[in-house]
Amino acid sequence: MSSLEIRKIPFDFEGAPFIWNPEQPRFSVLMNQVGFLAIGFERYICKAFREAESRITDKRILTEAGLFREQEGLHASAHTKHAKALIKQHPGLQRALDRVLESYDQLYEKHSLDYHLAYTGGLEAIFTPFFKMVLDNRAVLFSGGDRRVTSLLLWHFCEEIEHRSSALMVYDHVVGNSWYRFKNARGFQAHTRWLAEMLTEEFRQNVPNVPSEAYEGDPFASVPRWDKYRSAMGILSSQLPWHDPAHQAIPNYYQEWVDQWAEGDDVTQIYGQHAS
């Protein structure tokens, strides 16, 4: 049995500001980049895993792959809602979203299924050490933010922790070549880095009255240096051929969020400030 749970959450982002946390403008822009990128990446994941299902011979892994794909599809849908709310206020951002989707479509056409599964496994492995740093420092990064957006991000990041082993599990079953994933890691990271840089330029061009500090400097300047170092080391080790996400440390907040969901709390308004 898989431990993954499908949670359909009715988020609403009508009128949400581009700088959703005025106390953390640089972090706000970074998370907007993550959101736009996630729409393309998670559509890409769903396409690859749907294609991979015919090559999965283990029923347990097939179940895991299906639940993982469904979680990622829900993430893409929720971030699309947020992106559309921003596009409604700043129509030029539609081009930013279109460019992300086009880039992932081109990547899918250019490479093999083995490559797509390696790309997914490699990037998903990064998320646990990265999101642990973010969730461990949620008070400084999220508490001053619009709770509709913070709640979206906290849900998404907790589910990334939940399915941290799924992508590599499928990759190892279908492809089974850890060195192939390791060898291509730079290419995966270069692609996401290009997307992030492209989104920065699109945001600059299409969203007026954003302070320059929202695009410059360290988005984690308020995070303790040790937490950033530990996250960086975790990200580095996550790309090694023998890496197993199941052995990574996870944030305490993950279980807190799951418990709140199980108790029926409104997870669309779970953290941060009410919209003005």
pLDDT digits (tens, 9 = 90+) for 3-21: 899 999 999 999 999 999 9
Contacts of residues 13-16 at CB distance under 8 Å and 24 or more positions apart, as own/partner, are: 13/81, 13/82, 13/84, 13/85, 13/86, 13/148, 13/149, 13/152, 14/85, 15/85, 15/89, 15/275, 16/82, 16/85, 16/86, 16/146, 16/148, 16/149, 16/275
Token pair of 211 as six digits:
């302070």
* Residue from 170, 172, 163 nearest 52 by CA: 170
At 257, list the tokens.
């969020």
- Model confidence at 256, pLDDT cuts 50, 70, 90, reads very high
Average pLDDT over residues 244-260: 93
The percent of residues in the chain predicted with pLDDT above 70, rounded, is: 99
**Where are the chain's structural domains?**
25-209+216-262
pLDDT one-digit tens code per residue, 68-102: 999 999 999 999 999 999 999 999 999 999 999 99
The full DSSP string for the chain is -------------TT--SS--TT-HHHHHHHHHHHHHHHHHHHHHHHHHHHHGGG---HHHHHHHHHHHHHHHHHHHHHHHHHHHHHHH-TTHHHHHHHHHHHHHHHHHHS-HHHHHHHHHHHHHHHHHHHHHHHHTHHHHHTTSBHHHHHHHHHHHHHHHHTTTHHHHHHHHHT--HHHHHHHHHHHHHHHHHHHHHHHHHHHHHS-S--GGGSSS-TTTTS-HHHHHHHHHHHHHHTSTT--GGGS---HHHHHHHHHHHTT--TTS-SSBPP-
Q: Do residues 96 and 206 touch, judged by C-beta distance below 8 A?
A: yes
User: Would you state the pLDDT for residue 2?
Assistant: 65
Residue 118's pLDDT is 97
Maximal C-alpha separation, the chain: 54
State the Cα–Cα distance between residues 142 and 240, nearest whole angstrom. Answer: 31
Q: Are 171 and 55 in contact (CB under 8 A)?
A: no
23-82: per-residue pLDDT in tens?
A: 999 999 999 999 999 999 999 999 999 999 999 999 999 999 999 999 999 999 999 999
Q: Is the dihedral of CA 152, 154, 157, 159 positive or negative?
A: negative
Answer yes or no: is pLDDT of 264 > 70: yes
Answer whether residue 237 shows pLDDT above 70. Answer: yes
With a pLDDT cut of 90, the percent of the chain lying above it is 93
Cα–Cα distance, 78 to 246 (Å, whole number): 26
What is the reported pLDDT for 274? 87
Q: Does domain 25-209+216-262 have CATH number 2.60.40?
A: no
- Per-residue confidence (pLDDT) for residue 3, from 0 to 100: 86
Confirm if 36 and 27 have CB atoms less than 8 A apart.
no
Span 232-252, mean pLDDT? 91
Terminal-residue alpha carbon distance, the chain: 44
Work out the pLDDT band at 275, boundaries 50, 70, 90. Answer: confident
* Mean pLDDT confidence for 141-170: 97
Q: Write down the pLDDT at residue 246.
A: 86
